[in-house]
Amino acid sequence: MSYHLSTLFIILLFLIFLAAFFSGTEIGMMSINRYKLKHLVKKENKQAVRVNQILSRPDRLLSVVLIGNTFANILASTIATLIGQHIYGDAGIAIATVLLTLIILVFAEMIPKTFAAIYPQKVAFATSLPLQILQLIFAPLVYITSFMSNGVLRLFRVSLDKAQKESLTGEELRSVVHEAGGLLPIEHKSMLISLLDLETATVEDIMIPKSDIVGIDIEEPWSEILYQLETAKHTRLPLYRDSIDELVGMIHVRDVLNLAIENELDLESLLEVADKPYYIPEATPLNLQILNFRKMKRRSSFVVDEYGNIQGLVTMEDILEEIVGEFTTDVAALSRGITPQSDGSVIVDAGLTLRHLNRLMGWQLPMIGPKTLSGLIVEHLGYIPPPDSCLTIENYRMEVLKVGDNTIKSLRVFKINKKKHK
């Protein structure tokens, strides 16, 4: 009889282990990172391919797990009852029920499921082969249970064929990048986030304002035009008559050099080699404009509003800097219009864009609405303030220094460290 009792204990332990196997398998399979799994499948990892095949039919996976778990738990309960009754008589039934419930809860549920939740890939890969074999063994029963459960789901208009495909929104993808932790260098993480932001930013956000466009007025004397060509800091220069609103074309310094080498440099030849102006709406998203530049084989374009009036200039370099950051080697150019003061304040050109200031100074000025610092202040107050006016926006105290031509020219900015009140 003792031999019979020891056999029952061995079978009971095996069934508890079996229940733990199915519990851990369920959590491991359902918790595995699907994007890591797809990456491993592309690398032809055999275990990943097997897990991916199993997960392609979650109804069959859950059928096997539930069938196996139910079978193990019911049989374990029966055997535990026999053991308890044999040792303690009728009272052993209650004792066995309580003890078995506690053992299954801890060793067949909590421990394997917790371990599988922490190491889902290890558990999924390790259990994939046994699970695949069990799917073949229980195939008829799996088919019947899956058919019945899917039939009930169809009554609630739930179908596996119409299951939503896994995809990430832009915000979710940003979260994935942020959670990459030490797997990605900070610079790479920043570039990926900036790349995702291209779909929300427009050319108006990064364009060179109309007032800052450097070009050549072809109505100027030829000697003045030559001087501007010789001292130009840009590789491309717009040509215009009297004002930038009367554009004639865009000239590349390389073409000017070629004309100079051939001794054919004059105003007429300059106009002949100039490219026709390329115009884009101010609301064009940056990710779309990259494609437009490639399609049109252009590197710069003029930004216009809904009335066709020129608002600014945007180049391919400007968009690239949105992704990789400022890559000019001219430090003075980066900080042009920004002058730090000894008292910790900064004198700022109010025509600078909020995007540029936030990036360069590490500020967090609100960018919903106006694009420039001047526009932000005017919208905040509702009027153009006179010089010496002071105001506070977010954590920044601003003092207007100069106003002219119906716009704010410059101001002093103090960053305020607000204390949190308990």
CATH code for position 405: 3.30.465.10
For residues 203 and 239, membership in a common domain is answered with: yes
Q: Which range has the worst mean pLDDT, 60-64, 209-213, 247-251?
A: 209-213
Domain boundary among 136, 156, 176: 156
Strands 300-304 and 279-281: parallel
Domain boundary among 296, 324, 352: 324
* Residue 123 pLDDT: 93
Predicted confidence (pLDDT) at residue 356 exceeds the cutoff of 80: no
Between 174 and 79, name the one with better pLDDT: 79
Burial class (CB in 10 A: 0-12, 13-18, 19+), 242: exposed
Q: Structural domain of residue 232, as residue ranges?
A: 188-324
How does DSSP assign 232-257, residue by residue?
--SSEEEEESSSTTSEEEEEEHHHHH
Local confidence band at 117 (pLDDT 50, 70, 90 cut-offs): very high
CATH number at residue 212: 3.10.580.10
Query: What does the alpha-carbon distance between residue 343 and residue 353 come to, in Å, rounded to a whole number?
Result: 24
Predicted confidence (pLDDT) at residue 203 exceeds the cutoff of 70: yes
* Residue 420 pLDDT: 45
How far, in whole angstroms, is CA 359 from its chain's centroid?
Answer: 18
Question: Residue 327 has which token pair?
Answer: 């890559």
Local confidence band at 1 (pLDDT 50, 70, 90 cut-offs): very low
202 strand-pairing partners: 285
For residues 140 and 90, membership in a common domain is answered with: yes
404: in domain: yes
Q: How many CB atoms lie within 10 A of CB 292?
A: 14
For residues 79 and 211, membership in a common domain is answered with: no
CB 314 within 8 A of CB 303: yes
For residues 21 and 145, membership in a common domain is answered with: yes
For residues 138 and 19, membership in a common domain is answered with: yes
Interval 347-376 mean pLDDT: 82
Please, what is the Cα angle at 22 between 152 and 9, to 5 degrees? 125
Q: Provide the domain count of the chain.
A: 3
Interval 164-170 mean pLDDT: 58
8 strand-pairing partners: none
Interval 308-320 mean pLDDT: 88
User: One-letter amino acid identity for 314?
Assistant: V
Domain boundary among 324, 354, 381: 324
For residues 33 and 150, membership in a common domain is answered with: yes
Predicted confidence (pLDDT) at residue 219 exceeds the cutoff of 50: yes
State whether the Cα torsion 21-23-29-32 is positive or negative. Answer: negative
Query: What does the alpha-carbon distance between residue 352 and residue 370 come to, in Å, rounded to a whole number?
Result: 11
275: in domain: yes
What pTM did the predictor assign?
Answer: 0.56
For residues 55 and 125, membership in a common domain is answered with: yes
Per-residue 3-state assignment (H helix, E strand, C coil) for 335-380: CCCEEECCCCCEEEECCCEHHHHHHHHCCCCCCCCCCEHHHHHHHH
For residues 288 and 391, membership in a common domain is answered with: no
Predicted confidence (pLDDT) at residue 124 exceeds the cutoff of 90: yes
332: in domain: no
Local confidence band at 335 (pLDDT 50, 70, 90 cut-offs): low
For residues 36 and 143, membership in a common domain is answered with: yes
Burial class (CB in 10 A: 0-12, 13-18, 19+), 127: buried
* Residue 85 pLDDT: 83
For residues 63 and 152, membership in a common domain is answered with: yes
119: three-class secondary structure by DSSP:
coil
57: in domain: yes
> What are 21-49's pLDDT values in tens digits?
999 999 999 889 887 888 889 888 999 99
Closest CA to 250 of 274, 283, 224: 274
161: in domain: no
Burial class (CB in 10 A: 0-12, 13-18, 19+), 267: exposed
* Residue 329 pLDDT: 47
For residues 44 and 124, membership in a common domain is answered with: yes
Burial class (CB in 10 A: 0-12, 13-18, 19+), 420: exposed
**H-helix or E-strand spanning residue 209:** strand 208-209
Between 166 and 136, name the one with better pLDDT: 136
* Residue 82 pLDDT: 86
User: One-letter amino acid identity for 50?
Assistant: R
For residues 342 and 265, membership in a common domain is answered with: no
Predicted confidence (pLDDT) at residue 150 exceeds the cutoff of 90: no
Local confidence band at 331 (pLDDT 50, 70, 90 cut-offs): very low
61 strand-pairing partners: none
* Residue 95 pLDDT: 86
* Residue 260 pLDDT: 87
